[in-house]
Structure 1
Amino acid sequence: MFPIRDHNPSGRTPYVVYALMAANILIFLSYLGIMDSAALLNRFYATYAIIPARITSGSGFETLVTSMFLHGGWMHLAGNMLFLWIFGDNLEDEMGHLPFLLFYLVAGVGAGLIHVATGPDSVAPTIGASGAIAGVMGGYLLLFPRAKVDILLILIIYFRVFTIPAFIMLGLWLAFQFFGSLTSDPDQGGVAYWAHTGGFIVGLILCIPLWLKLGGTRYWRRTHGHPPHPEHSYKLTQSRIPRVPRR
């Protein structure tokens, strides 16, 4: 189950979202040529990825930012950019371009610090924009809890698109990340669940002042939990997999 789009186009062009997507894609392409060389790739990650033990020792703090623009493969990159594209434009619209950029970077750094704090002795390199994008998702949940999001559900051979409120999709995502945080070992590398969970919470907290400025619960009542723009309607098609009637 993963989101494919929301029904809430931005009221203005999300230049920062587009710029962040372009930066992530171009940076990934810049080192794509060394992906087949373990030695070169490890040296590259040793310079630019978060290595908790290095930061704990008092160095490498710049990697809290540089790691946010690195990805381990095409699917890693595509998944993160999809989430940024779906959830980032409405936040940028409400915050403004430069405040949204600052919010994105602070959420990413906060997620990285939480990752370091939960595995301070780990020497496994950590990369990806997931922590910052989790912050975007946390802010989106606070401001637009009832926004419509289309998700693609895949069960073996069953494919179907459903429209659900954002609070259900994002709540389930956070629950999966939190469960992963409790069952994973940061020292072994793999998915940085604590960065995802922490980034989500950091983003939500950072958006509280904006939410209060907009009116808090009055803003929810005024917008019904949706972004304050006319929503876009999509025509959902039935699954092409034939149904076998019961006899």
Structure 2
Amino acid sequence: MIPIQDIVPRKTFPIVTVSLIALNSLIFILMLNLPAQVREAIVINFGVVPARITQFGLGDAGVALQNVISLFTAMFLHGGWIHLFGNMWTLWIFGDNVEDRMGHRRFLVFYLLCGIAATLVHVWLHPDSTIPMIGASGAISGVLGAYYGLFPLARVIVMIPIFFFPFFFEMPAVLYIGWWYLLQLFSGTLSILHGKIVGGVAWWAHVGGFVVGLLLHRLFCVGENCFPDEVRPWGVSYNLGEKINR
């Protein structure tokens, strides 16, 4: 299932969400113009390598600083167009409404905190991995967790390709995001049983980011606007591409 859009009005322009999408895209495009060896060096040095954290810890000041910096920089690196587009599309669909409820600055802090927490969960469960972890998936999983808590009954329009034909359906966010979470949990469990990362995806970073986002999102919501679940009543018609701004 591919999410196409949600039907939740927002009151403010999502400046942080748009800025994050722009920054991630710009970094990816700039890296495309670099030689392959330079791109590989950037990923190794600015991505999160679990073994580098668990083996060196805080013993060496230089390595410790690199590890701390990589917790932030890894969130802005992506391994390909599909990786980038999938993350940024999900952030655009769900991030604007979460930002609207939290406010711009609190949303940015929340996003970064979820990303760091998700990374640490991955490191904890794969302490000996020497494969660099990159991508915004952990932080965006936290945004999904917040959306799940704030808008469980909001409708999400999804596309399911069947025999190369696209079919569109709508479902409550609680079902779509719940299905997504169970898929991450199942794949993450397989990675533990197999002793390696399945499909080259940091599944437990997704699980960790989601749980942290779900548990902490209320701490970043202040005021009455954070609590109402503003959704359009079921049965009201809509047009694909419509997004209500108020």
Range of TM-score over shorter length:
0.7 to 0.9
Question: CA RMSD for the aligned pairs?
Answer: 2.4
Look up the match of 1:93: 100
Q: Secondary structure at the match of 1:162?
A: strand
- Cα offset, 1:27, TM superposition: 0.8
1:234 alignment partner AA: Y
Look up the match of 2:41: 43
| Identity %, equivalent residues | 44
**Residues 81-138 of structure 1 deviation map (CA, whole Å, 9 limit, x = unaligned):** 1100010111111111100000000000000110100101110011100000000000
Are residues 1:155 and 2:153 paired?
A: no
- Cα offset, 1:44, TM superposition: 1.4
- Cα offset, 1:46, TM superposition: 1.1
- Cα offset, 1:202, TM superposition: 0.6
- Cα offset, 1:186, TM superposition: 6.7
Q: Within 2, Cα distance between the matches of 1:210 and 1:116? A: 26
Larger deviation, residues 85-94 vs 55-64: 55-64
Q: Within 1, Cα distance between the matches of 2:3 and 2:12? A: 22
The question of whether the paired residues in 2 share the 8 Å contact of 1:174 and 1:197 is answered with yes
* Structure 1 residue runs without a partner (length 5+): 237-247
Look up the match of 1:239: none
In the TM superposition, 1:1-247 aligns within 5 A as 1-34=1-34, 37=36, 39-56=37-54, 57-58=56-57, 59=64, 60-184=67-191, 187-188=196-197, 190-209=200-219, 214=224, 219=227, 223=228, 226-227=229-230, 234-235=238-239
Q: Within 2, Cα distance between the matches of 1:197 and 1:107? A: 11
- Cα offset, 1:10, TM superposition: 1.5
The question of whether the paired residues in 2 share the 8 Å contact of 1:87 and 1:136 is answered with yes
Larger deviation, residues 205-214 vs 126-135: 205-214
Larger deviation, residues 178-187 vs 81-90: 178-187
- Cα offset, 1:228, TM superposition: 6.9
The question of whether the paired residues in 1 share the 8 Å contact of 2:148 and 2:177 is answered with yes
The question of whether the paired residues in 1 share the 8 Å contact of 2:102 and 2:222 is answered with no
The question of whether the paired residues in 2 share the 8 Å contact of 1:142 and 1:211 is answered with no
The question of whether the paired residues in 2 share the 8 Å contact of 1:53 and 1:120 is answered with yes
Look up the match of 1:241: none
Q: Within 1, Cα distance between the matches of 2:221 and 2:131? A: 37
Q: Within 1, Cα distance between the matches of 2:116 and 2:164? A: 40
TM-score, structure 1 length as denominator?
0.85
Q: Within 2, Cα distance between the matches of 1:186 and 1:135? A: 25
The question of whether the paired residues in 1 share the 8 Å contact of 2:111 and 2:139 is answered with yes
2:51 alignment partner AA: A
In the alignment of these two chains, the number of paired residues is: 227
Q: Within 2, Cα distance between the matches of 1:86 and 1:21? A: 11
The question of whether the paired residues in 1 share the 8 Å contact of 2:107 and 2:220 is answered with no
The 3 A distance-change label for structure 1 pair 67 and 139 is: same
- Cα offset, 1:227, TM superposition: 3.0
The question of whether the paired residues in 1 share the 8 Å contact of 2:115 and 2:136 is answered with yes
**Residues 175-219 of structure 1 deviation map (CA, whole Å, 9 limit, x = unaligned):** 000001000257457100000010000111111335696599xx4
Look up the match of 1:245: none
Q: Within 1, Cα distance between the matches of 2:92 and 2:23? A: 13
Q: Within 2, Cα distance between the matches of 1:46 and 1:109? A: 17
Q: Secondary structure at the match of 2:33?
A: helix
Moved segments of 4+, more than 4 Å: 185-189, 210-216, 228-233
TM-score, structure 2 length as denominator?
0.85
